[in-house]
Amino acid sequence: MATASAGTAGPHGSLNGWRHWRAWPANVASLWRRSLRFRTILITLALTALAVAIACIWMALAIQNDLFGSRLRQVQGYAQRATTAAQTTLDNAAVQGDGLQIQNLMTAVRTTLAQQASSDIIAAFRIGPPSPNAPQNFTTDPRFESIISDQLRTQVRENGDQQWWQSVALPSIGGTVPGIVVGQQLQVPEVGGYELYLAYDLGDASQTLGFVVGTLWIVGVGLVLLISGIAWFVLRSVTTPIGQAAETSAKLAAGELNVRLPVRGEDELATLGRSFNAMADSIESQIKELADLSLVQQRFVSDVSHELRTPLTTIRLAADMINDQRDEFDPATARAAELLNAQVQRFETLLTDLLEISRYDAGSVQLELEATSLAHLAEDVIASMQQLADQHGTDVRLVAPGGYSPVEMDPRRVRRVVRNLLGNAIEHGEGRPIVVTVDSDQQAVALGVRDYGLGMTPQDVERVFDRFWRADPSRTRTIGGTGLGLSIALGDARLHGGELAVWSELGRGSHFVLTLPRQGTRLTVPSPIPADPGDDSVAAVEALGLTQPIEVARADPARSAADAAQPARGGAK
């Protein structure tokens, strides 16, 4: 099946879906596809954010390590200094087995530690079995002992001369703070080894780190926004001219040949603009040349047709005269006279069509509008072509559920269109019934000519309105068509603001539908008669019989009151 239509096109709807959040993913996807600027900004934003995030995390980690490392070295230094001072105090003391002296010595050591260690949290635990002379374990904070891990204690106990450390969470007011515990052995004379632990608060370092990380993130986000902003401005300076070029080339493609791109400077965009303008100049001049040539050709066709008219009239008169007297000639001469007459008639038709086409090309066709009933016009045309239909044994029926009320149209031209459509249907209808349908709605009136003859291939349908085109030259012709009929009919339909649509299928026949708007403006709605006739088959039509009128059941609420008042009629015979 193939359908083609020549006429008006419907308007496109615009998309305004940002108000509904559900439509956002689709809108963003469509923006991603359509906008170079949006795509580039989004990619720049994502890549910059990724790079800045990696840089920030790396810097935060590096600063954290450095802060911790330097603080660790510092507290290790403090602890070492304090331990050495305490050990020196212990080593220099002469206690000679006196428990009290040892106890006093330990108190002195505690004071030294408190002064030298730069820490308030100090603890010492005796290594080895309890001894009557040995001073008591001591700690400045009772919670301190539970913080020190067994692992650290074992290390301190087993490697007396080495300093050990461990990260801990130190209890503080309202929670804990990060800290370091440094442990080392202390040798008390005559008593033996003590584990000495000093705790240091890293709260300051952690605060500094928090401040640095916070600053890093603020700077990072600012950097991302700044780079995106810069990318936006830079891109705008590139994409605006590209967008302008795209818009201008679309206008040029749509036929606005005088559009040009503004050219500024010497850069690549200026070169693009200059090349585009040169191309537009060249296209414009070539199209002008072609238009001039076409004008010359139109004038030539028009002039030749006019010039041929006078001699043709004379030839026609002579041919008529000879044809009238053919009974007096011998059979061969009589046949020649008949042929001459037929061909002169064809010549005349061709010349008339050529003149009409050249008038369309020159744009000098004027409609002579008159309120006309399309249904009655169709009836007249069918009656006038009855003889030709009879010659082909074709039954032509009129089914007119609407289209009686008068509509402004040029009756001479519309009659010519209907004659052409009906002539073609009779010519190619294989003697099968032809149904002429007339119907209307509030916006338009339409006339369809349905035949059940040879039909056409989709390729033929594509070309059916082309000038001088005929489907198959071998098809038998009786009314000697010129191949211009349908292109003139299309010109007539368009001149009325209407359309001429065709449906055709090989073996199923054809359906041509002429639709004219009621208001004399352009058609914006579908025709009251669809070109595709659906599944009406030849068999179904033949089953109706030749004398039965075909009722087309239509329920059209839009039909005008005037039309509705008229009875459906069938059979032009």
Q: Which is nearer to ligand ADP, 139 or 352 (CB)?
A: 352
The count of residues interacting with ligand ADP (CB under 6 A) is 20
Least CB distance to ligand ADP at residue 502 (A): 8
Q: Which is nearer to ligand ADP, 389 or 484 (CB)?
A: 484
SS3 122: strand
533 binds ligand ADP (CB under 6 A): no
Residues with Cβ < 8 Å from 70, sequence gap 6 or more? none
Least CB distance to ligand ADP at residue 26 (A): 46
The whole-angstrom separation of Cα 75 and Cα 181 is: 9
Q: Which is nearer to ligand ADP, 157 or 463 (CB)?
A: 463
Q: Which is nearer to ligand ADP, 416 or 470 (CB)?
A: 470
Which residue stretch of 37-45, 113-121, 376-384, 464-472 sits at the interface with ligand ADP (rule: CB under 6 A)? 464-472
- CA 297 centroid distance within chain: 43
Least CB distance to ligand ADP at residue 353 (A): 8
415 binds ligand ADP (CB under 6 A): no
From residue 500 to residue 519, what is the string marking binding to ligand ADP with x (rule CB under 6 A)? Answer: ----------x---------
Q: Are strands 396-399 and 434-440 parallel, antiparallel or unpaired?
A: parallel
The H or E element containing residue 147 is helix 144-147
Least CB distance to ligand ADP at residue 460 (A): 7
CB 447 within 8 A of CB 418: yes
456 binds ligand ADP (CB under 6 A): yes
Distances (CA, A) of 410 to 65, 87, 315, 357, 382: 94, 125, 32, 17, 18
The whole-angstrom separation of Cα 434 and Cα 23 is: 52
Least CB distance to ligand ADP at residue 477 (A): 7
The whole-angstrom separation of Cα 231 and Cα 224 is: 10
The whole-angstrom separation of Cα 88 and Cα 116 is: 13
The whole-angstrom separation of Cα 431 and Cα 437 is: 18
Q: Which is nearer to ligand ADP, 276 or 465 (CB)?
A: 465
485 binds ligand ADP (CB under 6 A): yes
CB 218 within 8 A of CB 206: no
Using CB under 6 A, pick the residue from 419, 428, 508, 559 that binds ligand ADP.
428
Q: Which is nearer to ligand ADP, 83 or 420 (CB)?
A: 420
Q: Which is nearer to ligand ADP, 455 or 497 (CB)?
A: 455
Which residue stretch of 308-316, 371-379, 480-488, 492-500 sits at the interface with ligand ADP (rule: CB under 6 A)? 480-488
Q: Which is nearer to ligand ADP, 236 or 467 (CB)?
A: 467
Torsion, CA 50, CA 55, CA 58, CA 61, rounded to 10: -110
Least CB distance to ligand ADP at residue 485 (A): 3
Least CB distance to ligand ADP at residue 425 (A): 5
Using CB under 6 A, pick the residue from 425, 445, 523, 552 that binds ligand ADP.
425
The whole-angstrom separation of Cα 78 and Cα 119 is: 9
The H or E element containing residue 141 is none
- CA 449 centroid distance within chain: 40
Q: How many CB atoms lie within 10 A of CB 325?
A: 11
241 binds ligand ADP (CB under 6 A): no
Q: How many CB atoms lie within 10 A of CB 492?
A: 26
Which residue stretch of 190-198, 328-336, 385-393, 424-432 sits at the interface with ligand ADP (rule: CB under 6 A)? 424-432
The whole-angstrom separation of Cα 71 and Cα 118 is: 13
252 binds ligand ADP (CB under 6 A): no
Q: Which is nearer to ligand ADP, 4 or 181 (CB)?
A: 4
464 binds ligand ADP (CB under 6 A): yes
CB 192 within 8 A of CB 61: no
The whole-angstrom separation of Cα 382 and Cα 486 is: 18
Residues with Cβ < 8 Å from 502, sequence gap 6 or more? 3, 4, 5, 461, 464, 465, 510, 511, 512, 513, 531
Which residue stretch of 33-41, 154-162, 281-289, 477-485 sits at the interface with ligand ADP (rule: CB under 6 A)? 477-485
The whole-angstrom separation of Cα 59 and Cα 64 is: 8
Q: Which is nearer to ligand ADP, 435 or 464 (CB)?
A: 464
Q: Which is nearer to ligand ADP, 71 or 428 (CB)?
A: 428
424 binds ligand ADP (CB under 6 A): yes
CB 482 within 8 A of CB 424: no
Q: Which is nearer to ligand ADP, 55 or 355 (CB)?
A: 355
Using CB under 6 A, pick the residue from 87, 420, 437, 440 that binds ligand ADP.
420
Least CB distance to ligand ADP at residue 498 (A): 18
23 class by beta-carbon count within 10 Å (0-12 exposed, 13-18 middle, 19+ buried):
middle
Which residue number places its CB atom closest to ligand ADP? 481
From residue 435 to residue 454, what is the string marking binding to ligand ADP with x (rule CB under 6 A)? Answer: ----------------x-xx
Which residue stretch of 1-9, 103-111, 376-384, 463-471 sits at the interface with ligand ADP (rule: CB under 6 A)? 463-471
Q: Which is nearer to ligand ADP, 448 or 481 (CB)?
A: 481
486 binds ligand ADP (CB under 6 A): yes
Which candidate, 460, 372, 453, places its Cα nearest to that of 418? 372
Residues with Cβ < 8 Å from 202, sequence gap 6 or more? 68, 71, 177, 178, 179, 180
Least CB distance to ligand ADP at residue 387 (A): 18
Q: Give the residues lining the site for ligand ADP (CB under 6 A).
A: 420, 424-425, 428, 451, 453-454, 456, 464, 469-471, 481-487, 510
